[in-house]
Amino acid sequence: MEEEMAVKVFDLEMPGAERSFLAECEALRSIQHRNLLPIRTVCSAVDNRGGMFKALLYEFMPNGSLDTWLHPRAAPAAGEKAPKRLGFSQRVNIIVNVADVLDYLHHECGRPTVHCDLKPSNILLDDDLNALLGDFGIARFYADSKSAPVLVVRIDTDYWF
C-alpha cells in the first residue's frame, strides 16, 4: 500500500535549524494527541557531499493548511473551480480542535509545552477538515506547570474569519 508523505527538510545552513530539528523531534517523540500532525519517521544522515541531512516525514494532509483555505492566493484559471470556503460549523470545529490540542499541550501532557508559532499555515486539515497542529520548531518545553510562563495572548481575528 502506498502512502503519501509530506517531507520537511531542514536547511542546516540557517542559524537555529539544528535546534529547530531537535525541538520538533523532542515534541513529536513525547507528545501524542489526536490534533497533532502525525509524524511517520525522522531522517538524520550524511548526504552524498558529506554534509548533514535532516528531515521529518509527516502524514500528508490532503486539504493543506488552514491558511490556504482562509486566504486563497489567486483567482482560479479558466475552467478551474473557485476556491473552497469553510462554512461556519467547519470554522468552529477547527477552533475547537486547536483549542483542545493547546489545552493538552499547556495543561495535560507530561511536560507543559508552548508551541510559540501558532498561525494558520501551521494548522493542517485532514480529509474531514479536522485541524492538526504542526511545526514545533520553536516550541518551548517546561519541567512542570509552575515553571511555565503565564502569557497574555492577542488573537487576530483576521486569521479565523
CB 64 within 8 A of CB 120: no
Single out the catalytic residue among 117, 128, 144, 156: 117
3-class DSSP state of 41:
strand
Max alpha carbon distance in the chain (Å)?
A: 57
Count Cβ neighbours within 10 Å for each residue of 74-100 and write b for 16 or more, e otherwise: eeeeeeeeeeeebeeebbebbeebbeb
Q: How far apart are CA 52 and CA 86, in angstroms?
A: 41
Is 128 noted as a catalytic residue in this protein?
Answer: no
Could you give the residue numbers annotated as active site? Answer: 117
